[in-house]
């Protein structure tokens, strides 16, 4: 299962043009890094509502301003210290807020590299500026922080450096922060980063062991704000041990138009797999939340929910066994609801039989409010 989604940040410059800022605003950047002196920049190019902020501070006096300055008060996600001596003060000031602690740290030699490993223990975000072009120091930091709360962001000045750093040691840095006013670099990095956000899940074959009518129930259609492909769907299941791949409504329907944004996801008690190694019950979903769209090769991308459509419908229970684990789904009992078969074959529910092989995802059982935990759990 994929870990947390990689972050794409942008280092704002006080002299950035409106054109540059609009290019950042209209692309998939997650966070804007700026300092208190950049307020005038935001007057020329007002912040879009959904963009997060990481505000840099150089003194204890600036911490209050970073948290409460009017142009960005509600969008601050991280307060970034420019010196490690500020970390305790930032932690104290943000203790009762949903704001994280960051540090901007330069790695110029062996001493500063080893200092970064110690400082990582104290922060949520470690933003590293490397003097040398090699990624070997980054590899050491990633290896040291992989099982900690600290997420590592590398500051880069080119798209090429950003792309290679995002793949270092396979997992790559947790984030890339671009410091460039070159529109081509901004566009190139964002495009490459968007592609890299497609996670890879390992799908397996699940052999159908039982099919039976399950009476009337509430089933949910998930309508997304993205166009789904014919090879895509969502992972749904009754247990945290795994789910079956239900198809998007992108395949022939004799009496109605296609709904290329929709997955008929079945009973409201189902789990649906989501980004950041999360699951949600269908009953928990709301417009604006994110789930995974998964293709028949296991490629998973994040899509946003536009609405949910809930109706009473007759349900069909399909049980299947994958790698020794019993999985099941309760789907609307109608021919137009399809599951993904082995090899990417589209299987209308009415045509599925005992012994057929469907695509499934096997997960590690044990979740609390959708978050994976180490717990002995048995679901039947």
Confidence category of residue 1, pLDDT binned at 50, 70, 90: very low
Least confident of 6-15, 197-206, 243-252, 338-347: 197-206
Of 158, 177, 197, the residue at which a domain comes to its end is 197
**Domain identity same for 143 and 255:** no
* Residues 31-88: tens digit of each pLDDT: 999 998 887 888 888 888 889 999 999 999 999 989 987 677 889 999 999 999 999 9
Average pLDDT value over all residues in the chain:
89
Q: Find out whether 221 and 264 touch, Cβ atoms under 8 Å.
A: yes
Give the number of other CB atoms < 10 A from CB of residue 290: 16
Of 146, 166, 197, the residue at which a domain comes to its end is 197
Structure tokens at 28: 């998939």
**Residue 370 above 60 pLDDT?**
no
More confident residue, 345 or 50: 345
**Residue 245 above 90 pLDDT?**
yes
What region, left, alpha or beta, does residue 370 occupy, with left being phi > 0 and alpha being psi -120 to 50 degrees? left
pLDDT at position 4: 58
Confidence category of residue 3, pLDDT binned at 50, 70, 90: very low
Confidence category of residue 368, pLDDT binned at 50, 70, 90: very low
**Domain identity same for 275 and 313:** yes
**Residue 364 above 80 pLDDT?**
no
Task: Let me know if residue 213 belongs to a domain.
Answer: yes
Least confident of 34-38, 116-120, 290-294: 34-38
CA end-to-end span of the chain: 22
More confident residue, 195 or 11: 11
**Domain identity same for 31 and 162:** yes
Instruction: For residues 290-313, give the mean pLDDT.
Output: 94
Let me know the angle formed at the C-alpha of 311 by 308 and 313, rounded to the nearest 5 degrees. Answer: 135
The CATH number assigned to the domain holding 318 equals 2.170.16
Structure tokens at 25: 């605003």
- The domain containing residue 143 runs over which residues? 7-197
Q: CA 194 from chain center: how many Å? A: 11
Helical residues (DSSP H) of the chain, grouped into ranges: 18-25, 39-44, 61-68, 87-93, 110-119, 136-145, 159-166, 183-196
Q: How many helices (H) and strands (E) does the chain have?
A: 8, 23
How far apart CA 9 and CA 173 sit, in angstroms, is 12
**Residue 324 above 80 pLDDT?**
yes
Of 181, 197, 213, the residue at which a domain comes to its end is 197
**Domain identity same for 186 and 257:** no
pLDDT at position 39: 79
How far apart CA 12 and CA 38 sit, in angstroms, is 8
More confident residue, 78 or 365: 78
**Residue 367 above 50 pLDDT?**
no
pLDDT at position 365: 62
Percent of the chain with pLDDT over 90: 69
**Domain identity same for 146 and 220:** no
Q: How many domains does the chain have?
A: 2
Structure tokens at 93: 């000031």
């Amino acid at each position: 299962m994929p870990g947390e989604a990689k972050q794409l940040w942008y280092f704002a410059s006080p002299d950035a043009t409106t054109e540059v800022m609009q290019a950042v605003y209209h692309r998939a950047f997650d966070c804007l890094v700026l300092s208190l002196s950049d307020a005038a920049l935001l007057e020329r190019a007002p912040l879009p509502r959904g963009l997060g902020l990481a505000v840099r501070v150089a003194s204890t006096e600036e911490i209050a301003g970073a948290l409460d300055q009017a142009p960005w008060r509600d969008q601050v996600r991280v307060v970034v210290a420019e010196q490690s001596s500020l970390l305790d003060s930032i932690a104290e000031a943000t203790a009762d807020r949903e704001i994280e602690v960051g540090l901007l740290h330069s790695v110029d030699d062996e001493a500063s590299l080893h200092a970064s490993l110690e400082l990582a223990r104290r922060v949520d975000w470690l933003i590293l500026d490397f003097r040398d072009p090699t990624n070997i120091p980054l590899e050491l930091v990633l290896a040291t922080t992989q099982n900690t709360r600290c997420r590592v962001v590398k500051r880069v000045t080119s798209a090429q450096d950003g792309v290679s750093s995002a793949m270092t040691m396979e997992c790559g840095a947790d984030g890339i922060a671009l410091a460039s006013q070159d529109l081509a670099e901004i566009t190139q990095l964002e495009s490459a980063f968007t592609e890299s956000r497609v996670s890879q899940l390992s799908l397996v074959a699940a052999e159908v062991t039982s099919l039976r009518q399950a009476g009337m129930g509430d089933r949910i259609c998930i309508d997304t704000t993205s166009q789904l492909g014919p090879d895509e769907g969502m992972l749904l299941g009754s247990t945290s041990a795994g789910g079956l791949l239900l198809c998007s409504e992108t395949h022939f329907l004799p009496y109605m138009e296609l709904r290329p944004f929709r997955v008929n996801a079945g009973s409201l008690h189902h789990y649906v797999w989501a980004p950041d190694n999360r699951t949600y019950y269908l009953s928990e979903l709301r417009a604006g939340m994110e789930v995974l769209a998964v293709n028949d090769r296991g490629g998973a991308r994040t899509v946003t929910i536009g609405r949910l459509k809930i109706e009473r419908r007759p349900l069909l229970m399909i049980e299947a066994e994958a790698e020794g684990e019993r999985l099941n789904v309760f789907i609307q009992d109608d021919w137009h609801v399809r599951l993904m078969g082995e090899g990417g074959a589209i299987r209308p529910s009415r045509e599925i039989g005992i012994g057929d092989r469907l695509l499934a995802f096997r997960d590690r059982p044990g979740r609390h409010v959708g978050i994976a935990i180490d717990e002995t759990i048995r679901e039947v």
